[in-house]
Amino acid sequence: PKQVSHLDSSLLLDINLEDPDFVAQLNSIINEKSIKKEDEPTPDSYDPYLNMEIGLSRRYDFALVTVNVRKRVLDDNNEPIRSTHNNPLLDTRKYETELVDG
């Protein structure tokens, strides 16, 4: 590991030099089961389409309607339907949308 030279070493925590009561309390907080851990990011965590407002063409009269993209559509196994692709023309993801005007 590369040593960082611009840090004041007196500000760094050395767990071996700390008060044992402090270390015990710190470990009890770190290991506390009731504290919610952050969820692991999923591919959808950074989905650029989620919460986007877009215009779609209605099938029967081709009128433009505005919708909000709410979430990915999932199959019976809770897996996203279809797949992501860098090329938008080949991206086959399915989304649940909601009309902006209700």
* 58-72 residue pLDDT tens: 889 989 999 999 999
Token code pair at residue 19: 């008060």
Distance CA 30, CA 37 (A): 10
Query: ∠ CA(74), CA(45), CA(27), 5° rounding?
Result: 115
Token code pair at residue 71: 């979430």
User: With 70 as the cut, is the pLDDT of residue 5 above it?
Assistant: no
User: What is the per-residue pLDDT for 36?
Assistant: 65
Q: Enter the pTM of the model.
A: 0.52
Q: Are 60 and 49 in contact (CB under 8 A)?
A: no
Q: Are 72 and 97 in contact (CB under 8 A)?
A: no
Going 27 to 28 to 32 to 38, the CA torsion angle's sign is negative
Distance CA 32, CA 25 (A): 10
